[in-house]
Amino acid sequence: MDKQSTIYIAGHRGLVGSAILKNLKEQGYTNLVYRTSSELDLRDPNQVASFFEQEKIDYVFLAAAKVGGIVANNEYPADFIRDNLLIQTNVIDSAYKNGVKKLLFLGSTCIYPKLAPQPLKEEYLLTGELEPTNEPYAIAKIAGIKMCESYNRQYGTKYISVMPTNLYGPNDNFDLHTSHVLPALIRKFHEAKETNAPIVEVWGTGTPKREFLYSDDLADACVYLMNTYEGNEMVNIGVGEDISIKEVAETIKDVVGYEGKLQFDTSKPDGTPRKLVDVTKLNGLGWKAKTPLNEGLVQAYNWFLENETAKSK
């Protein structure tokens, strides 16, 4: 990308899109294009086609999606498969029809089989059954990967797909019903501390393991790969280390300074037992994560204090 290239960041207000926008601004890219979902509904093919015809976009970061935690995925499967198929199909096809030079598609590690060997290598895609709580979302993401590969093969485009592990950071979703585990636990421990509640409820058994990447690191990897990677094969993005939900809950408890107890609600789903990504390919391409989990959690909690608690005052 040149510093003057026209770069569209789809989903620029979200966890990932806002971090990519910040990274691009910091690196001196000046011609950045973005729209909110109310200005441009990416599920609507006509709106997307007109937008691409007008804007003459060179590069696309496709970070707009219907996203949510384990319970949201389980409760709204139709929304997750429909919205994601529509958004990615409209954007990828309009990018092709309007001569976009390169597009980066964001998948997720839930595309790998539920019981795949660990760490998850890129080649494990489509080798086994998916985790049922997020199968519709994962199927949409797999369709996005295959769409990029197919356009590259048939039309000679340069679309790349990246598979990030679980993410957290500024502009995360802190809604307890629809969020992922880290923002949920930050809110739960904070509110329990404020109200002197003796117990914080943690979903599931606490035994599943997850790998967590700070959103600024993810954004840096996306911009790096947009500038350096042209392969048709997807690339995992992660840190290469995981932690149990019980351990991460104890860590957040300490970061927040809550002194009560944890209680595990085993009526809630555990989901995939483990999804540690193999980052050999990413490291070989010259990129490594920088932010340690403890440091990232302190930053995420500070962001929550400055932005989310202000909303409820």
**Interacting residues toward ligand F7E by CB under 6 A:** 68-70, 73, 108, 110, 134, 137, 166, 179-181, 184-185, 202-204, 208, 210, 245, 268-272
In whole angstroms, the minimum distance from the beta carbon of 250 to ligand F7E comes to 12
Nearer to ligand NDP, 257 or 273 (CB): 273
State yes or no: 141 annotated in a binding site: yes
Catalytic residue among 137, 168, 229, 301: 137
266 labelled binding-site residue: no
**Torsion on CA atoms 220, 88, 210, 231, rounded to nearest 10:** -60
Using CB under 6 A, pick the residue from 6, 7, 8, 14 that binds ligand NDP: 14
Q: Which of 21, 57, 67, 293 binds ligand NDP (CB under 6 A)?
A: 67
Of 31 and 178, nearer to ligand F7E (C-beta) is 178
- Residue 173 binds ligand NDP (CB under 6 A): yes
Site membership for ligand NDP, residue 57 (CB under 6 A): no
Residues 43 and 86 sit within 8 Å (Cβ to Cβ)? yes
9 makes contact, choosing from ligand NDP, ligand F7E, none, with CB < 5 to 8 Å by partner type, with none
160, with CB counted inside 10 A (0-12, 13-18, 19+), is buried
Sequence-distant (≥ 6) Cβ neighbours of residue 306 within 8 angstroms: none
CA distance 63 to 271: 24
Cα four-point dihedral sign 9, 10, 11, 15? negative
Active site residue 137: yes
3-state class of 277 per DSSP? Answer: strand
Give whole-number Cα distances, 68 to 180, 181, 249, in Å: 6, 10, 19
**Residue 40, annotated ligand binder?**
no
Per-position b or e across 273-292, b if 16+ CB within 10 A of its CB = ebbbbbbebbeeeebebebe
Residue 130 makes contact with ligand NDP by CB under 6 A? no
SS3 for 127?
Answer: coil
Assess 246 for contact with ligand NDP (CB under 6 A): no
21 is an interface residue for ligand NDP by CB under 6 A: no
Write down the least CB distance from residue 167 to ligand NDP, Å.
4
Least distance in angstroms from the C-beta of 162 to ligand F7E: 13
The answer on whether 188 is annotated among ligand-binding residues is: yes
Q: Say how far apart CA 34 and CA 32 lie, in whole Å.
A: 7
Catalytic residues, by residue number, are 137
**Residues in the annotated binding site for substrate:** 188, 203, 210, 270
